[in-house]
Chain A
């Protein structure tokens, strides 16, 4: 049932992308997201598409697996497309009743849809190829300078990694409790909205209790192992840039330059 949720789940494979330093991947993802909102022409779009699909190919994550993650944004996608389609002023193409579709609207809707889809696909490459631990390590190290202005970087990173770590556990727990209540004849599907909301009580109460119990256990276990925050804490596998990271940075720089040039001249 719930096991099939794929957004943000690590997908183990032996690829170049998996081997990159998480900081490189974070940086590249940011550059990629920026580039999504820079292109205005078909040529720019082609460049972004080329970049995206090259990375997907390199990552060895099955394309179908990635597309499954898009299900979550279908509604947002539809709303965006509809609003752009009907509410953009300009030269009308088709008009009926009070609605009209303009050429600009069509173009805007198309680009917006592509941008959203690419945004999810691109950022899911980051989480699909990086373990949560690596990801938070990368974040912690990239944000280290903020420590100087008293931002608790380590604590934030720790909270993030615990939260990420708990997602699959809580999904599994939900699955278990759901099955246990189904076995007692619970019905989560039929009925109107109020009835459905009521049907969630037997699921949510045990889930909250178990989440609190787990949080409590974890806090105790950390305390028992003398956890005291980030000061003086060393890592078993400290992050280190390797040769491929340099190449990756160069390629990302080249890609960004290309997108900017295309925006300027095409």
Chain B
């Protein structure tokens, strides 16, 4: 199973004064079970890119294939694709509309054509997996706090039981605790269900900590595509396009400059700790941890 993008171009407001080329010749293969991070400056085409994955935006040119099937084929059922590739938009809590959280979460599976009972079972499972306390299930979504609303909205997408989950800045506007909870939830879904996850983010620390593969977008094109270690090794080039590497990466480069041979590719605190300890034990014999 995979999603393949073949030479995808997208132009907003074609042939007017507002014409903008949002995507330029994007080639991408997303394999089953990958955890991918997408980073890029505002306006780099991240959001446009992910809306192509479930057919919400139709590419101006190029093709997109889900499990080998052309999604632009006239027989292809886009509605089904949207159930398989679950897309969580930025500020997803703004889409809640039902009288209770539970009814809102049922909306997705009902649209996929499941019976009322099946939909409710799926809604139960989804609400439980996002860790929203049962006290809130039968309340109005508007009585919930920001973080709770967001969980409810994510549950609304999960209840469709998608094969791939795409999240556009799921942590925007949350406090640090809420942010960690949402990201841990996403990581858990990937770990336990082998779900393909695509995470769009502004925070280098977040993506470095969670993702296996990192895609950097700049002005509608893919600038880098590789592991976080590989991508952040280009930290100077990233700065030139208005991005940065995680702070740990800078620390490691600084250490190397001062003659401490710590690995330069560390992107998370844990990796950095390991490589610094290794460097010390090589120099002074074994060091107690």
* Contact call A186/B94, Cβ cutoff below 8 A: no
Which one, B79-87, B199-207, B245-253, is touching chain A?
A: B79-87
CB distance from A124 to the nearest CB of B (A): 15
Give the chain A neighbours of B82 by CB distance below 8 A. 182-185
* Contact call A185/B94, Cβ cutoff below 8 A: no
Known: A177-B95, A185-B83. A3 touches B13 (CB 8 A): yes
* Contact call A206/B94, Cβ cutoff below 8 A: yes
CB distance from A153 to the nearest CB of B (A): 33
Name the contact of A206 in the complex, choosing from B97, B111, B160 (C-beta under 8 A).
Answer: B97
* Contact call B17/A184, Cβ cutoff below 8 A: no
Residue from the set B54, B89, B95, B142 with the largest chain A CB neighbour count within 10 Å: B95
* Contact call B13/A184, Cβ cutoff below 8 A: no
0/1 interface trace, chain A 15-46, chain B, CB 8 Å (1 if under): 00000000000000000000000000000000
A residues 171-191 with Cβ under 8 Å of B? 176-177, 179-187
Bound Cα distance from A201 to B89, whole angstroms: 19
CB distance from B7 to the nearest CB of A (A): 24
Bound Cα distance from A179 to B47, whole angstroms: 12
**Chain B residue with Cβ nearest A199:** B111
Tell me whether A205 is interfacial, beta carbon within 8 Å.
yes
* Contact call B79/A181, Cβ cutoff below 8 A: no
How many B residues touch A, CB cutoff 8 Å?
A: 26
Known: A179-B51, A205-B97. A185 touches B89 (CB 8 A): no
CB distance from A180 to the nearest CB of B (A): 4
Known: A3-B13, A65-B16, A209-B142. A183 touches B97 (CB 8 A): no
CB distance from A239 to the nearest CB of B (A): 25
Give the chain B neighbours of A206 by CB distance below 8 A. 94-97
**Chain A residue with Cβ nearest B110:** A185
Give the chain B neighbours of A177 by CB distance below 8 A. 94-95
Name the contact of B111 in the complex, choosing from A4, A179, A184 (C-beta under 8 A).
Answer: A184
* Contact call B108/A11, Cβ cutoff below 8 A: no
Known: A206-B94, A206-B95. A187 touches B17 (CB 8 A): no
* Contact call A183/B13, Cβ cutoff below 8 A: no
Tell me whether A13 is interfacial, beta carbon within 8 Å.
yes
Residue from the set A182, A184, A205, A206 with the largest chain B CB neighbour count within 10 Å: A184
Tell me whether B157 is interfacial, beta carbon within 8 Å.
yes
B residues 85-129 with Cβ under 8 Å of A? 86-87, 89, 92, 94-97, 107-108, 111-112
* Contact call B160/A184, Cβ cutoff below 8 A: yes
Tell me whether B147 is interfacial, beta carbon within 8 Å.
no
Tell me whether B40 is interfacial, beta carbon within 8 Å.
no
Tell me whether B228 is interfacial, beta carbon within 8 Å.
no
CB distance from A192 to the nearest CB of B (A): 17
Tell me whether A145 is interfacial, beta carbon within 8 Å.
no
* Contact call A183/B94, Cβ cutoff below 8 A: no
* Contact call A184/B97, Cβ cutoff below 8 A: no
Bound Cα distance from A37 to B157, whole angstroms: 56
Tell me whether B56 is interfacial, beta carbon within 8 Å.
yes
Bound Cα distance from A202 to B95, whole angstroms: 8
CB distance from A185 to the nearest CB of B (A): 3
Give the chain A neighbours of B83 by CB distance below 8 A. 185
Tell me whether A210 is interfacial, beta carbon within 8 Å.
yes
A residues 50-90 with Cβ under 8 Å of B? 62, 65
Give the chain B neighbours of A180 by CB distance below 8 A. 89, 92, 94-95
CB distance from A33 to the nearest CB of B (A): 27
CB distance from B16 to the nearest CB of A (A): 6
0/1 interface trace, chain B 1-34, chain A, CB 8 Å (1 if under): 0000000000011001100000000000000000
Bound Cα distance from A13 to B16, whole angstroms: 11
Residue from the set B17, B83, B96, B156 with the largest chain A CB neighbour count within 10 Å: B17
**Chain A residue with Cβ nearest B157:** A184
B residues 124-149 with Cβ under 8 Å of A? 142
**Chain B residue with Cβ nearest A60:** B17
Bound Cα distance from A186 to B56, whole angstroms: 12
* Contact call B95/A181, Cβ cutoff below 8 A: yes
Tell me whether A254 is interfacial, beta carbon within 8 Å.
no
**Chain B residue with Cβ nearest A3:** B13
Name the contact of A183 in the complex, choosing from B17, B89, B142 (C-beta under 8 A).
Answer: B89
Give the chain A neighbours of B160 by CB distance below 8 A. 184-185
Give the chain A neighbours of B142 by CB distance below 8 A. 209
CB distance from A59 to the nearest CB of B (A): 13
Bound Cα distance from A19 to B112, whole angstroms: 54
B residues 145-193 with Cβ under 8 Å of A? 156-157, 160
| Closest 3 pairs between A and B when the two form their complex, measured CB to CB | A185-B111, A205-B97, A180-B95
Residues of A within 8 A of B (CB): 3-4, 11-13, 62, 65, 176-177, 179-187, 201-202, 205-206, 209-210
* Given A181-B95, A184-B95: 19 more A-B contacts, CB < 8 Å: A3-B12, A3-B13, A13-B17, A176-B89, A177-B95, A179-B56, A183-B54, A183-B56, A183-B82, A183-B86, A183-B87, A183-B157, A184-B160, A185-B79, A185-B111, A187-B79, A201-B97, A205-B97, A210-B94
**Cβ contacts A to B, 9 pairs, < 8 Å:** A12-B17, A62-B16, A176-B89, A180-B92, A183-B86, A184-B160, A185-B111, A185-B160, A205-B97
